[in-house]
Amino acid sequence: MKINPLTYAEVSRPMYVLEEARLRENLNLIAHVAKEADVEIILAFKAYALWRTFPIFQEYIKATTASSLYEARLGFEEFGSPTHTFSPGYTDYEIDEIAHCSSHLVFNSLTQYERFHVRAKIDNEKLSYGLRVNPEYSEVETLIYNPCAPGTRFGIAADKLPETLPNDVEGFHIHCHCESGSDVFERTLTHIEEKFAKWFPQLKWINFGGGHLMTRKDYDVPRLIRVLQRFRKRYPWLKVILEPGSAFAWQTGPLVAQVVDVVEDHGIKTAILNVSFTCHMPDCLEMPYHPAVRNAILADEDGTAKGEHTYRLGANSCLSGDWMGSWTFDHALQVGENIIFEDMLHYTTVKTNMFNGISHPAIALLHTDNELEMLREYTYEDYRDRMD
């Protein structure tokens, strides 16, 4: 089916649509950064895991990063290569399978290392071990996303590391960004080197984690390349790895929803949609943030605005707070018309849930010729089989 990506008029049910042309633009830019800076950039599944699209990714990158057994299996079995794996807590009943699926295994603490480093290599002698370290510096302002906040459960501070690392530890993993710019990375790198450079001669690689939003329009890509090139010049023996998630899928496609009713109370009109913020756009309530709505202007954030063509956007769940702001359109909304939420591929597609048993949006790939390919449609059985 041919689709008009400006209106998605041909779509009449909820659907996440990944636009291949936009995805390839991001992948081309990421591949350019990797080549120019002489680093490896890999995909973080925590932000994007649509495995049916992995053949596209394989044209540009060679590896992925996992934070759990199932993500490690996804990379090993579906992407076709062992994963770079980190978890804040490995378990006795999963470590062997995780080791089998991984090329790099990062430990969150020295106690986790002591517990599992011998056992993991019994299953996979090629594993390269790393330690996650905490630079105790981050410019992430939203506390829930700040991995270096006081009391963090992530990583080892410099004053807790031994002068000589265990002889099978080959790398450091550092993650302290969230949709950050290259200026933030440059400032953070100063703190990282001040605290950890004395251990660099003992290492073979360093992973600077995710949150490098290099595909955002205002991101200073040349600056990122220069910063990485200078770091590589200072420490030429260190292989440098970045593992962004959002950068791969940034602005690659919308969630298309439909109006099913319009109700009014105390002069506030609500357009009820066939999607849910808590189920299908959970970050909108968790962070929180307001998504962009195509051809609409945000009238207010508290949902109290009134006007001829102003509507609170309400979901179809029974959660009272499942709505998102007031939006002004240039016409009166009609039952059946599309409401298009922009940029809904990264994180959203991996965080959805089936609360209330609400029908889950389908997932589709819009090819460069505007032909729509359905990747996944969800059924009652998907909901039922999650229960027992």
Q: Residues forming the annotated binding site for substrate?
A: 283
Residue that has been written with the tokens 């599309």 in this structure: 338
CA angle 284, 224, 39 (to 5 degrees): 100
For residue 231, give every residue at least 6 positions away whose Cβ sits within 8 Å of its Cβ, in sequence order, or none.
Answer: 189, 240
Tokens of 119: 């056992």
User: How many whole angstroms separate alpha carbon 368 and alpha carbon 380?
Assistant: 32
User: Distance (Å, rounded) from C-alpha 335 to C-alpha 273?
Assistant: 9
- Rounded Cα distance, 166 and 150, in Å: 27
Q: What is the DSSP string of 198-244?
A: GGGGG-SEEE--S-B-TTSTT--HHHHHHHHHHHHHHSTTSEEEE--
Rounded to whole angstroms, the Cα distance separating 291 from 240 reads 33
Report whether 338 contacts 9 (CB < 8 A).
yes
CB burial of 295-329 (b: ≥16 within 10 Å; e: otherwise) equals ebeebeeebebeeeebbbbbbbbeeeebbbbbbbb
Q: How far apart are CA 280 and CA 351, in angstroms?
A: 8
Task: Please state, in angstroms and as integers, the Cα–Cα distance from residue 62 to each residue in 11, 40, 82, 119, following that order.
Answer: 34, 9, 10, 27
- Known binding-site residue numbers: 283
Strand partners, 127: none
Q: How far apart (Å, rounded) are the C-alpha atoms in residues 155 and 134?
A: 5
Which candidate, 31, 99, 11, 22, places its Cα nearest to that of 253?
A: 22
d(CA 181, CA 190): 15
